[in-house]
Structure 1
Amino acid sequence: MDAAARAKELRKALSRHNYLYYVLDAPEIEDFEYDRMLRELEELEAAHPEIVTPDSPTQRVGGEAVGQFEPVRHEVPMESLQDVFSVEEVRAFDERMHAALSTVRYAVEPKIDGLSVALEYRNGLFVRGSTRGDGVTGEDVTANLRTVRSIPLRLSRPLPFLEVRGEVFMPVAKFEALVRAQELREEKLFKNPRNAAAGSLRQKNPKITSARGLDIFVFNIQRIEGATVESHLAGHALLKELGFKVVAHTACDTLEKTETEITRIGESRGSLPYGIDGAVVKVDDFTARRMLGSTAKFPRWAVAFKFPPEEKRTGLLSIDINVGRTGALTPTAVLEPVLLAGSTVARASLHNEDFIREKDIRIGDTVVVRKAGDIIPEIVSVAEHGGGKPYRMPTACPSCGAPVAREKDEAVLRCQNPDCPAQLLRHLIHFASRDAMDIEGMGPALVESLVGEGLVRSIADVYDLNAEAVAKLERMGKKSAENLIAAIETSKRAGLARLLYALGVRQVGQKAAGLIAARFGSMERLFSATEDELCAIDEIGGIIAENVVRFFALEDTARLVERLRAAGVDLTAREQEVADTRLSGQIFVLTGTLSKYSREEAKKRIEALGGKVTGSVSKKTSYVVAGEEAGSKLDKALALGVPVLDEAAFEQLLGISETEE
């Protein structure tokens, strides 16, 4: 492959991974692999300047800011650092510094694996926080940064103005707890702490950010008024004095000390309570930095030594199968214990059947393992086969013996038994949750106690609980037990839609459960529902219909529902669940600003009556609802002859009286 073709291939791959990382917070590859690809492209473009394109990842500083927060333009660009991967490259950097400066002293510090932010203070008060974005324009995340407790809201002395740069991160313990909770709820797992920190900082609701336990290290002064700072180490001392949590640093006046400190930081990374992915070497003196300046992409006075993921060989002893709330069978590798990135690893996820087959992983093999993001153990490859046969996933659930099936377009096998003991804990947590049966007080900790003490072995057992038995549980007293039993009694009247969602039928969410409950009206009718009848419901597709029919065809489902009926659980749709479908089949487009409703509120009103809201006008559009400052959608509606409703006509169509609002 010639240089131009290879460069084109790299640009395409890097642009995709850049988007996944910076915009979607969903990386698919390790940073080290991304950095290697970028280095290859840089070298190709340096050797062949004629192949450089304006949209090459090498021509921009970083990722693009997403649009859900207000943009912030950085007065001092938040530059990225040039990465180096070997001692030889560190020595070459040192030679350049000594060639340009009479004396050189470095500040060496760990490179925190998180999300870079700028914090601004006026008269000592925190006034704005923003993400790095593309280095020139970031996002205003002030409200979320205020939830990071290590960020001082008031400095120890009121400098007229101060802007600092830091790295928001999620501590390892917080990350592991978050992943455990995601596993319990069977949510998509964050890949690593950096990914989790970025996702948490971009939450629209600061309460969610606050619950994630983010932290920060501040490492640089961007702008300052009211004080003079002439070196990086002096700046650190001032930042510490002002109340910031500063990153650890070491002064090194020789190359030998610098290399020793890089090695020490690398050896410590497995034992640190936060993630690092390298060591940063910076010229300490600010006057020297100003003289050295920056290239179009990096400051000349610093480099980041990137640590490769530590990989080791070990033996695969066996494969365990875990069963989740929705019946998903997840294989886990049981390994010969091996010390990796500072801790002993004895288990690693194998994801699913396809992953095992693609890597041809067999019991008895010697495998290569590493920690993704230095946290989660994973198998990278098979180093040597041990003579075992190709692994096959079980055809029956290892917990209850019920049949397992692989559904269309899915990579996992699932147990079909809703009362499977292995699913019980996760299933009960979901069943009692607010959006399901809403049993107040029955959170994960209590569910674990109920299951652990053998009081609940099936969903139906919840309705056989009594206050006396519950009161004997740890952290439960008589009053708490009585409140729980009262909440359980109340849940019996939740109605068919909530119950259907609570039962955890595959891919049946709240909306689908509501539509199905409104259409059939009772649990009894659901047992005889056909796929064609279900697919006739607007927005219910073939996969959901297939899952519902399969669920209600199981004998275990019949036994469970009969026990719920005997316990007094209402198996019919509540009156408000019987849908008013007067707008069924009608398509609406919203444009402009309504005085009484937000766009989302108007959409919910339409959908509640069976209508559908789309974003573009066509001949199939039933109505365009036009508020003030309606734009091109109104023009297109008039051109196509689509009926246009003003706010009053819209309310009349919905049947809203003047007094309702």
Structure 2
Amino acid sequence: MEIQQQIQALRKELNEHNYNYYVLDNATISDYDFDIKLKELEVLEKKYPEFFDANSPTQRVGGVITKNFQTVAHQYRMYSLDNSYSKEDLQEWENRLQRVLGNVNLTYTCELKYDGASISITYENGKLNRAVTRGDGFQGDDVTQNIKTIKSVPLELKGDDFPPRFDIRGEIILPLQGFEKMNQDLIEIGETPYSNPRNTASGSLKLQDSSEVTKRPLECLLYYVTGDKLPFDTQYEGLVTARNWGFKVPKEAKLAHNLSEVFDFIDYWDVHRHELPYETDGVVVKVNSIQFQEELGYTAKSPRWAMAYKFKAERVATILESISYQVGRTGAITPVANLVPVQLAGTVVKRASLHNADQIAKLDIRVGDTVFVEKGGEIIPKIIGVDLDKRPANTAPTVYISQCPECQTELVRNEGEANHYCPNFYGCPPQIIGRIQHFISRKAMDIEGLGGETVALLYANGLVHDYADLYELTVEQILPLERMAQKSAENLVNGVEKSKNIPFERVLYGLGIRYVGETVAKKLAKHYKNIDNLSRATLLDLVLVDEIGERIAQSVLDFFANDANKLIIERLKNFGIQFEIVEKINLNATNKLEGKTYVVSGVFATLSRDELKKAIEDNGGKVGSSITAKTNFVVAGDNMGPAKLEKANKLNIPILSEAEFLNQIQ
């Protein structure tokens, strides 16, 4: 027992020194003394393996090899943020908030938007349990072993007021000083330096050897706690609480009592951000009250209660050398500017999007022009203007192409659309390759061992002509291809076989029906249950489905009217692809609330808001995000939003207490 206590005391002391040094920037022990104590702990743990602890300070040194990062579903979805680029945008945002909440006094938490890799870390009983990348927001990669090497991430929390389980979100960043040192070391040994801190930080999380991650000076800045029964009522209190638990929460965050104070925060950091040790590209403004956050809820992609204000984008001038044209999987033509290489926002830019013929004509962009390139909040740089004073003499206006650059088919442009299209849907190589690449993508069939370049290689060698052909590939066919060894060929075939278990909604998204994205595919799959029901739907049937408009409906009809698509689907069925929703059996499910729409508002005593919404859906009801004439009931808890209360009364919609609702379903 004495040895166990000695080990635990050493762990506690080393964790405290780690916290003082990496979170508070206040070292209380020399590096030498720290290393001596760490070595002492390592010796004891090796001698007494029965006292092993995965969250011991000795586990930060890395050494774990991860060949494949497991995909993990987020318990609480990681949303992206809506962007704003002007103070007028923020004022309009506040107006929208007030329309939903009523004329309430809003306070805001202002935080700097750090440019890093998003992470969600789960803690159970005060100990680090799992760390998962953002991924697509619904699921990400388990990078726990690599995150444990980051010294500013606590392995064990301070205090005792934390919930039994919660998630904390943050950004993994690479401080500028550390990034510059890494690049200097590479230059000295004749290697190519990294392009920018953000990409380097993101790439570090997926290194297979965690001991390599240890060598990189990564930091983790935390900004949001999510979970049940959290011990605070506001975002700002959440930041203070997380800091007390031992997390590195940026101290630049500020509580703003009105929008004017938000603007002061933005103005200050627009000037002083260059003094920070990290890259930041804007300010995140959040409604401070967590109750108001719950009232406002989410759109399909973003929380309504938060807005990112992006600082004005960096802009550079360079010369347009030529214009080329790319063909997408839907046949859309995208003009691309080929530029004299120029440094922009940490990367060398050689190409930029020109969007469409209208944009080229509007800016009167010509080959040889000096153009202004901007990156802003977008990944792909864009040309936003021309320096007419530097235009060479005798340049001619750009004439947009009339034929597909790949198959020479005459381009078409539909009325009301900005893009030109190649109509040779089943004969144009980039469209065929693009559709297969979309089909195998992570959000669709997620076929391991098969990437975009390999798809192009398979097509070029006549092995695939559509995505159904993938399921007939053999190792013997693949082996002769360039860069293909026995193991990689086997992985590809196994990955294709494994994709037969992908659920129907993702298969439907993977089919590449125009305008049918992830959200629409989920709604169609949930409504129609299987591909046969969907294929027989009429235009009227489709537009009656929630959030399906006429444009989407017509696209679905066009897809299933095509004989080639019908043949591909039949082949996929024969290969065993999932074309039917697998209903999860819920023994408590009923149809008591069928045909009824409920809106949930307020704070509840027995169930959480999410549990109430699930109870509605489990019993056949529909959960609405806002009160309309189609709302049948409002389930109201304490502190119901005054705007919702007023609207419910105005429309004579019955308001149920939590107990009254529970009586309905019992």
State TM-score, norm by structure 2.
Answer: 0.47
Query: With CA pairs under 8 Å and 6+ residues apart, which has the higher RCO, 1 or 2?
Result: 2
* Structure index of larger Rg: 1
State TM-score, norm by structure 1.
Answer: 0.47
